[in-house]
Amino acid sequence: MAEHTNGEGFDVVFDTVGNDNLQNAFKSAKLNGAVVSIVSLSQQDLTLLHAKGLTLHLVFMLIPMLFNLRRSHQGEILAQLAQIVDEGKIHPLLDSKPFTMTEIAAAHQHAESGQAIGKVVLTQSFNF
């Protein structure tokens, strides 16, 4: 994190894992930053969240579908997100070491080792 943000932390951290990883998101966010999580069904110590002045946004995307509330709006959100990605305004943090589909076990070991920086990528080559 420090090498990617000059030691300041990220403006926004988007957590898709939850549980203990949510604490890592708190650590990775800069002072007065924001953490967004889509997996929050866990008990958390909010001390670091408070100490860094972070905001926490918990998003449960299934609510519109479960309760039939503005379901079409979800498509609009995804279209807006796609535009932001296309404009290069969102940059996913990907680990520098990609793995092939035949190296899935090694990819899991790498991710679990704590050595991965960002998401571990699996690639698939197609022979036509």
Distance of CA 110 to the CA centre of its chain: 18
**Residue/partner pairs of 39-43 with CB below 8 Å, 24 or more apart:** 39/15, 42/18
Q: Distance (Å, rounded) from C-alpha 10 to C-alpha 27? A: 9
Q: Which two tokens stand for residue 117?
A: 């920086």
Q: Where are the domains of the chain?
A: 2-92, 93-128
Q: Which two tokens stand for residue 89?
A: 């305004």
Q: How confident is the model at residue 54 (pLDDT cuts 50, 70, 90)?
A: very high
Q: How confident is the model at residue 115 (pLDDT cuts 50, 70, 90)?
A: confident
Thinking of the domain 2-92, which architecture would CATH place it in? Answer: 3-Layer(aba) Sandwich (3.40)
pTM over 0.75: no
pLDDT tens track for 3-45: 778 889 999 998 888 888 899 999 999 999 999 998 878 889 9
Instruction: For residue 42, give the amino acid letter.
Output: S
